[in-house]
């Protein structure tokens, strides 16, 4: 364990996959430190390794070489079941296509995540309702998730990701499937979570979305090609009238 205020630490991380014909080196020697409370955006062309990196950082996958530390814990030294416990309690995940459980209503999707991480029923319910309030979803608590719009489903997914107050929120193209207004709403919620101190690592192809983060990494061929830190000001909330990359 390293003494640091890093929420995430990656050292010389490598990951490759076998396809039918060859071996693809998806991540090739990435060094990365994400400070607690930082909002990091990861960009790069399709296949550059950015989603793989996100999976490695969140313990969804294990590096072939190198170390990943989440909140000071070296993920490579943990068994799959130990990593599952860590993921449930310390990592919030938001995917492009929400990944909600369609057989559960909106509230249950979030409460279950809290209960799986060890919360009691009443506590899970209380936290879920508070989050729905905060995310402007109070009216959708008992809705079937299949009845919700894409923007609403993504906000439910965000509630699920935040319900355990994770050490880090990992978001893979969180606005990628949304119309412009919903994308702005989700971004505004990420901004608010960030303002409350939430550490966020977000993969996006949208330059304007990336510009809301504190720091931007550009990946190419499995490596970090460029890294840019933006002057913070107060951090923008995306203005309604400006276009997003589409």
Which residues would be at the binding site for other proteins (CB under 8 A)?
Answer: 43-45, 207-208, 210-212, 216, 218, 220, 225-226, 228, 230-231, 233-234, 236-243, 245
Judged by beta carbon, residue 54 or residue 212, the one nearer other proteins is 212
DSSP output for the chain: ---SSEEEEEEEEEEEEE-SS-EEEEEEEEEEEEETT-EEEEE-STTSSHHHHHHHHTTSS--SEEEEEETTEEGGGS-HHHHHHHHHHHEEEE-TT----TTSBHHHHHHHHHHHTT--HHHHHHHHHHHHHHTT-GGGTTSBGGGS-HHHHHHHHHHHHHTT--SEEEEESTTTTS-HHHHHHHHHHHHHHHHTT--EEEE-S-HHHHTTSSEEEEEETTEEEEEEEPP-TT-PPPPTTSPPP-
Quote the least distance from Cβ 104 to other proteins, whole Å: 36
Judged by beta carbon, residue 124 or residue 218, the one nearer other proteins is 218
Quote the least distance from Cβ 96 to other proteins, whole Å: 19
Judged by beta carbon, residue 46 or residue 79, the one nearer other proteins is 46
Quote the least distance from Cβ 239 to other proteins, whole Å: 4
Quote the least distance from Cβ 43 to other proteins, whole Å: 8
Judged by beta carbon, residue 105 or residue 206, the one nearer other proteins is 206
């Amino acid at each position: 364990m390293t003494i640091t205020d890093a929420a995430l630490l990656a050292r010389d991380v490598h990951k490759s996959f076998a396809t039918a014909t060859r071996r693809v080196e998806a991540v090739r020697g990435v060094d990365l430190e994400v400070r607690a409370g930082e909002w990091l955006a990861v960009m790069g062309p399709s296949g550059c390794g950015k989603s793989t990196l996100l999976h490695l950082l969140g313990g969804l996958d294990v590096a072939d070489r190198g170390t990943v530390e989440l909140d000071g814990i070296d993920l490579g030294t943990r068994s799959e079941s130990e990593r599952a416990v860590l993921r449930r309690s310390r990592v919030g995940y938001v995917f492009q296509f929400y990944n909600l459980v369609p057989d559960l209503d909106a509230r249950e999707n979030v409460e279950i995540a809290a209960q799986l991480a060890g919360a009691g029923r009443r506590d899970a319910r209380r936290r879920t309702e508070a989050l729905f309030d905060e995310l402007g979803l109070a009216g959708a608590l008992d809705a079937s998730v299949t009845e919700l719009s894409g923007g609403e489903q993504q906000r439910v997914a965000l509630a699920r990701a935040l319900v355990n107050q994770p050490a880090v929120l990992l978001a893979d193209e969180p606005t990628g499937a949304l119309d412009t207004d919903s994308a702005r709403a989700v971004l505004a919620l990420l901004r608010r979570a960030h303002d409350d101190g939430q550490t966020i690592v977000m993969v996006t192809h949208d330059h304007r979305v990336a510009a809301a983060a504190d720091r931007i990494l550009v990946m190419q061929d499995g490596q970090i090609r460029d890294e840019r830190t933006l002057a913070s000001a107060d951090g923008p909330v995306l203005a309604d009238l400006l276009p997003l990359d589409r």
